[in-house]
Structure 1
Amino acid sequence: MFTMSKTMEKVFFVLTFIFQGSNYLSAYKYGIMHRLHHAHADTEDDPHSPKYSENLFDMMWKTKVYYTAMADPEKAGVDAKYLKDVPEWHAFDNFANHYLVRITWGVLYTLFYMQFVGDAYYLYALLPVHYLMSPVHGAIINWFAHKYGYTNFKVSDTSVNLMPIDLFMMGEGYHNNHHKWGARANFGVRWHEIDPAYQIMKLMNFVGIIKMKKPGKIQPDSKGNKKHAAA
């Protein structure tokens, strides 16, 4: 969808660490997993598929095991074609993924709650979500967006669009669209499917942080079926 300089890549590694904290996900590891998910969606080789998990938590655990294995994808048997041009900063990943660093973030979150929550103890129920925000987000997409929603396109997997207006997942909930056109930056297709993340990407492209590829758009063919074409 876009490229960025190696310096800017490192900036975003650090920003990811700051904003994800205890649930930091490596762009390298998850980038490989995402490619594998698209290449093998809803098969036994899919890193996270509801079809091959007994329940949501089983899928999350399998994803965690797969994520850990991606520290050495070649040893895990991943084809070299899935490793090409994935953002890499292994030294930083090793630091950010260390269990002591994750625990430190969790302690800081807890101290923040203790300082500002006061007597509203029920709010402490949100702490586990804060500890695991990235896996929770991933689970919502990889479980529910393969089970509940509507489709715009017939695809070879179970991906669906979670909601007609997606503000909560920043456009990632248009999962059926994304599985149809995996390299398309704008996940929205229909008039009401506004992709907030795409708007941010356009701004970042405008100021030179990233360089987006030429956008594409969905056009109907002579039979009324929607097809993808270069803009």
Structure 2
Amino acid sequence: MKPFSIAIVDDDPNIRQIVEAYLQKEGYLTRSVQSAEEALHLKETEPPDLWVLDIMLPGMNGYEFCRRIRKETEAPIIMISARDEEVDKILGLELGSDDYLTKPFSPRELVARVNRALRRWEQMKQRGERHSPVEDAAAGHQLLGDLLVLDKEKRLVYSLGEEVEVTSKEFQILCLLSEHPNRAFSRDELLTLVWGEDYFGSDRVVDDLIRRIRKKLDKIPLETVWGFGYRLRSPERTAEG
């Protein structure tokens, strides 16, 4: 099996050197660059299986880079930053990153998080291969008609014939809720199923993400189950209620 490739994007040469050494020892192939602009070129020439991305970069910052590449790839992104504010972590996760580490961090912890992120990525791809993308898209159409159509092969969202731009996590939550219409999911369930069992942040990230989905897709019956979580109603139940 070909080793996974990992790109390290950080303007600190010492961090790049240390991270590369630990990841190479684990058996990964690595590439390192010092700016988001270089990383964009790397994405076109040698796209990695995972990104280790610093937020505070010269020129384009890590948030903007994450937002851009999430339109084209679902490869895991682990953000690293000297800032430890909850809002920074939430913003990174909302833009599509899969994990967040605060500097200074243990290189061994980073390796462990890389291992977990790649395992989840492989499991997600295997689950996707078991389903026909055409059938999956049709299932989304049958649930809410033209209000919500999910193209799981291209990871695109349509509403009333118009494409709606969503982040990776927004797409995952929409898929999960649409596959289980009328079922109420708790915030803890959504955290585990979408962010992973090893995510230890606040469940506020779920509320923030649902709010963003509602703003983008204000016609879909995405309901709050007070004191518990959220559910996506089917048209039949919505008409009855």
Asked whether the two chains share a fold, i.e. TM above 0.5, the reply is: no
- Which structure has more relative contact order (CA 8 Å, sep 6+)? It is 1
**Structure whose residues are more often strand by fraction:** 2
TM-score by length of structure 1 reads 0.29
TM-score by length of structure 2 reads 0.28
